[in-house]
Structure 1
Amino acid sequence: MDSDEEKLGYLWFLGICEESFKIIVSWKKIFTQITLAFILPLSIIFFVQFQVSENPKARIQFEKYRLHHRGDNERMDEYLSSQRIEFWLIKIAYLVFLLVLSLLSTSAVTYTVACNYTGKSITFKNIMSMVPKLWKPLTITFIWSFLFHLAYSLCMLGTFFLSIVWQLASVVSVLEEENYGIKAMVKSVSLIEGKRQVTSFIFLLLVLFYYGIMIVYQLFVVYLWNLGIVVGIGTLCLVLQMLLFLSSLVIQTVIYFVCKSYHCENIDMLALANHLEALLSLNLRGKPPTMSS
């Protein structure tokens, strides 16, 4: 491990944020392309689901009030049943699009940040050809994360730390070939140890920023009918959300390298570069080398 890699292990809040910002600036062209291709649609879906979910609620309340006063209980039951079906179909479609775009964004950004540390030159075309090959490990990791999250929720335990583990596990799934699914989650738990305070603080701030943007959007776009304000605030919220998503993905990848360095795990940049190169090779035979742990 060289001196630059060793320095990563000593980074805390400001250092991690500064490192992430430098990476975004130095690769601004390719991150802009990733944002327009994946993060922009993801942000739009986040905001659209507010409109889609809030409008039916208001319509249902109005119809319930109207049908109740008319004494038409049978029709009210039929109406509520159809509205529930419509609501859940929309929710399912939203979750599918959310999952697809989240996995695409995560794999693209993680790959780009890893290329920054290995000194590998890439193009957006490289990323588009690489992303489908990471679908399996990321999907398996997501399923395990969801199951653990559901179990924790049912047991009424805190899920904030589990969310951090899931974020880091996604990076592990991209950069370590053999570690995905539950293995990626176990590995991410071990990596976070010793850096739990700073990672928790960073992710807490990101969550607060996210809810802050959503609250502003809900107050000034969902519930307001002034077209000028709706367009202006809506556009501002969309831009801030895209920047937040991009920053979050870069930061979680930087945290991976910081945690690896902190635990004095050998970050074999040559092996990592070969692994990244293998993701681009359509005719690769055998297994590419992985990062030593």
Structure 2
Amino acid sequence: MECNGLFSFLVVIKEAFQILPKNGKLMALVTIFSLLLTEITFAAFGFSIIGLAQDMASAAKSLVPDPSSFDPTSFDPSKLQDQLRHIQQIVAILYAVEIAFILVFLVISFITTMATILVAAVSRVGNTLSIKNLFSRVAGTWKKPFLTSIYAAIQALGLLAVPGIFAVPVFMYPNVVTVLIAVLFAAVVFLIFYLYLMVIWELAIVVSVLEEGCYGMVAMGKASELVKGQRLKGYMLNLSFLLLSLILFAIYQVIYRLKGPSSAIICGLFLVGFSYLVKILQVVAYTVLYFHCKKQHGEMPEIDIGVAKYELLPKTYT
């Protein structure tokens, strides 16, 4: 029985789970490959941060002399400058490691998203896709979803201006109650708008990957038109995946506080892996939602898979 209203998104999630076993070897290859790269990146980042943090703590401790053995006559200002310079170098390396980790993670996530959309789209109608065609399609299509992602990021940055509206009453009535109310309303309004617009952003990425010559603002406009009548499904999808992500983050924070950084890294590897599986499910779910939107508008999706062009119709057997 099909769900209606707020629970209509469960139909999409159910279809997403049904799609995963189709083209199972290819989907498993994409999942395992991206998961291993992500785990290796996370582990390298975690242990690098711990090492740099320990070096910084040691360098900072050396700045404070022992009062019992401190001799003002032997104080050398040049040594203090060297120690400060060393701390600055550690901080610079720390920022470089963080930026490198973010970039590597984004690249892995971007390529995985493209590959997952392609495999899910073909699996949705029972067709097959070879590894060669998959990599060929990803290599030849990445510019379109990349440009669409940039437009989505720009819109997301513009959305950050929304909380600024609630800063006015804080300046007019600067007290604890006003600040708490303003922060609460700003967070709620921002979250509502973010989840609302994220439906278009996620669907636009799917459109950019699957539809020829459709990217950037064109893909945004296409996604906005397609999602009419299906926006509630997308909104509830985003809300459910957001809640799941917050639960995972809360678990990680509890373990970090109880067990310390080293244990948190080991647990973090499991949580990152699980989060990545959730991300793949979300991408598959949005691919399913794309087909729902197409069906509602009476359109027949097509996808160009490098060698041949397959019309996404269900197989018929004689």
Name the structure 1 match of 2:71. none
Tell me how far 1:221 sits from its aligned partner.
Answer: 5.8
Aligned mates of 2:201, 2:213 — CA distance in 1: 17
Is the 2:124–2:288 Cα contact (8 Å) retained in structure 1?
Answer: no
Q: CA deviation at 1:216?
A: 2.6
Report the Cα distance in structure 1 between the residues aligned to 2:42 and 2:133, rounded to whole angstroms: 27
Tell me how far 1:38 sits from its aligned partner. 2.1
Q: Is 1:123 equivalent to 2:168 in the alignment?
A: no
Q: Where does residue 249 of structure 1 map in the other structure?
A: 283
Tell me what 2:247 maps to. Answer: 212
1:172–1:184 Cα contact (<8 Å) kept: yes
Which of 246-255 and 202-211 deviates more? 202-211
Distance of aligned partners of 1:63 and 1:102 in 2 relative to their CA distance in 1, 3 Å threshold: same
Q: Match of 1:36, as an amino acid?
A: I
1:18 and 2:14 matched: yes
Aligned letter for 1:163?
M
Q: Which has the larger radius of gyration?
A: 2
Report whether the alignment pairs 1:268 with 2:272. Answer: no
Residue 155 (structure 1) shift: 4.9
Distance 2:120 2:156 in 1: 27
CA gap of 1:151–1:27, structure 2 versus 1, over 3 A, is same
Using a 3 Å threshold, how does the CA distance of structure 1 residues 66 and 124 change in structure 2: closer, same or farther? same
For 2:195, the equivalent position in structure 1 comes to 160
Q: Contact 1:111/1:276 (CA < 8 Å) preserved in 2?
A: no
Greater CA drift, 59-68 or 107-116: 59-68
TM-score where L is the length of structure 2: 0.71
* Offset of residue 33 of structure 1: 0.7
Tell me whether 106-115 or 48-57 shows the greater mean CA deviation. Answer: 48-57
For 1:194 and 1:120, how far apart are their aligned partners in 2?
28
Shift of 1:199: 1.5
Aligned equivalents of 2:44 and 2:25: distance in 1?
A: 27
1:116 partner SS: helix
Q: Which deviates more, 92-101 or 212-221? A: 212-221
Q: Classify 1:230/1:152 alpha carbon distance in 2 versus 1 (closer, same or farther; 3 Å).
A: closer
Equivalent position of 1:146 in the other structure: 153
1:272-283 alignment to 2 at 5 Å? 272=302, 275-277=303-305, 279-280=306-307
Which moves more between the two structures, 72-81 or 106-115? 72-81
Distance 1:227 1:82, change over 3 A: closer
Runs of 5+ consecutive residues of structure 1 not aligned to the other structure: 1-6, 282-287
Secondary structure at the aligned position of 1:276 is classed as strand
* Counterpart residue type for residue 278 of structure 2: L
CA gap of 1:175–1:73, structure 2 versus 1, over 3 A, is same
**Match of 2:139?**
132
SS in 2 for 1:26: coil
State which drifts further: 131-140 or 191-200: 191-200
Distance 1:227 1:106, change over 3 A: closer
Query: Residue 179 in 1 paired to residue 214 in 2?
Result: yes
Counterpart code for 2:63: L
Preserved CA contact (<8 Å) 1:68 1:76: no
Correspondence for 1:285 = none
CA contact (8 A) 1:9 1:258 kept: no
In structure 2, C-alpha distance between the alignment counterparts of 1:92 and 1:32, rounded to whole Å = 29
> Deviations along 1:187-240, whole A, 9 cap, x unmatched?
223333333333222212212222322333344368626988975x45542442
For residue 268 of structure 1, what is the amino acid of its counterpart?
M
* CA distance in 2: counterparts of 1:8 and 1:208, whole angstroms: 20
- Are 1:190 and 2:190 an aligned pair? no
How far residue 137 of structure 1 moved from its aligned partner, in angstroms, is 0.4
Within 1, Cα distance between the matches of 2:89 and 2:134?
43
Shift of 1:50: 5.3
In the alignment, does 2:78 pair up with 1:78?
A: no
The 1:12–1:246 alpha-carbon spacing in structure 2 relative to 1, beyond 3 Å, is same
**CA-atom RMSD, angstroms?**
3.5
SS in 2 for 1:130: helix
TM-score by structure 1 length? 0.76
Greater shift in the superposed pair: 189-198 or 22-31? 189-198
Letter in 1 for 2:17: F
In structure 2, the gaps of 5 or more residues are: 67-76, 165-189, 313-318
Cα offset, 1:32, TM superposition: 0.7
- Shift of residue 19 of structure 1? 0.4
